[in-house]
Amino acid sequence: MQRKSTPNIAIIRPRITFGPKLAVGPGKIDLLRAVAETGSISAAARALGIPYKRAWLLIDTMNQGFVQPVVERSVGGKGGGSARLTPLGDALLRHYDTIESACQAAATDSINSLAALLLCKD
């Protein structure tokens, strides 16, 4: 999935834990983006190289953990079903992006200091 390019040598991708049963991090966020782009849970799973069952379990965890589902799916006939993000799913992506950007901005100086300690830079 296409990510915003950044001039930083390292990228912070936070994992946010909401109690013992729900966490949202890069994997679930990438899955939501892939569902939004492909319109399908199975296509999103293929794009990310994960099994469909794993993708479905991640989505189900989010759907159960939030007050409303983040992904809606419709069962299809011959052509198969489809899936789309709900307004809550769209909001989740926006808020995560804001948090990710804030973390990156706050840590830039420290990341650059750590990068100076690397033996080789890519």
What's residue 67's pLDDT? 95
Position 106 scores a pLDDT of 94
- DSSP codes joined into one string, 24-49: E-HHHHHHHHHHHHHS-HHHHHHHHT
Give the pLDDT of residue 89.
98
What is the rounded distance in angstroms from the CA atom of residue 12 to the CA atom of residue 14? 6
The whole-number pLDDT of residue 6 equals 43
Which structural domains are found in the chain, ordered by start? 16-107 (1.10.10.10)
Give the model's pLDDT for residue 47.
97
pTM: predicted TM-score of the whole model, two decimal places: 0.84
pLDDT in tens, the chain (122 residues): 444 544 557 889 999 999 998 999 999 999 999 999 999 999 999 999 999 999 999 999 999 999 999 999 888 766 677 999 999 999 999 999 999 999 999 998 998 888 888 866 55
